[in-house]
């Protein structure tokens, strides 16, 4: 089990050091901002949506390793997904990181590396910030998202 935990930690560190899809998306037609007051994480999520599908997604901001890795993994996972699939991923991810002893939902792929944050309640807000920001962007909410 420790080998698996080390692998998961390395994936998180890699996405923190070299976040994927980092930067402003000029073609975005939906955006949302998120803030985690506890850790100081801030991000802006940019989505390009057409025909009920996420064609592109990027983010900007700064935060702890968990927050940055979660946003990076989110962007990799969402490209090409339908809005319905994005909603299902949100629900599955939220369940995975907040419910003790819950099995990892099917279809989580690389997102599974973040399942361990449920053991550290203060870090759950870091992991879920980008996901709550995604919800705001998908639903056209303009107020910044806060994890408080």
Q: DSSP assignment, residue 23?
A: S
Q: H-helix or E-strand containing 53?
A: strand 53-62
Query: pLDDT, tens digit, for every residue of 92-137?
Result: 999 999 998 878 888 899 999 999 899 888 899 999 999 999 999 9
Q: What is the pLDDT of residues 65-86, one digit of tens each?
A: 999 999 999 999 999 999 999 9
Counting residues of the chain whose pLDDT is more than 70, the rounded percentage is 96
What is the distance in angstroms between the CA of the first residue and the CA of the last residue of the chain? Answer: 33
Average pLDDT across the chain, whole number: 92
Counting Cα atoms < 13 Å in the Cβ hemisphere of 37 gives 5
Full set of structural domains in the chain with CATH: 2-143 (3.90.1010.10)
Residue 7: pLDDT band (50, 70, 90) is low
Quick: pLDDT tens for 20-36: 999 999 999 999 999 99
Distance CA 47, CA 31 (A): 6
């Amino acid at each position: 089990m420790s080998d698996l935990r080390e692998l998961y930690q390395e994936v998180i560190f890699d996405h923190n050091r070299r976040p994927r899809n980092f930067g402003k998306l000029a073609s975005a037609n939906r955006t949302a901002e998120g803030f985690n007051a506890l850790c100081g994480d801030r991000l802006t999520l940019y989505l390009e949506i057409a025909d009920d599908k996420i064609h592109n997604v990027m983010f900007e901001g700064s935060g702890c390793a968990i927050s940055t890795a979660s946003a990076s993994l989110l962007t990799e996972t969402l490209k090409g997904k339908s809005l319905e699939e994005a909603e299902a991923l949100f629900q599955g991810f939220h369940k995975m990181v907040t419910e003790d002893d819950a099995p990892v939902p099917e279809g989580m792929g690389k997102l599974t590396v973040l399942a361990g944050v449920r053991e550290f309640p203060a870090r759950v807000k870091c992991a879920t910030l980008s996901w709550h920001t995604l919800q705001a962007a998908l639903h056209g909410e303009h107020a910044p998202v806060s994890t408080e």
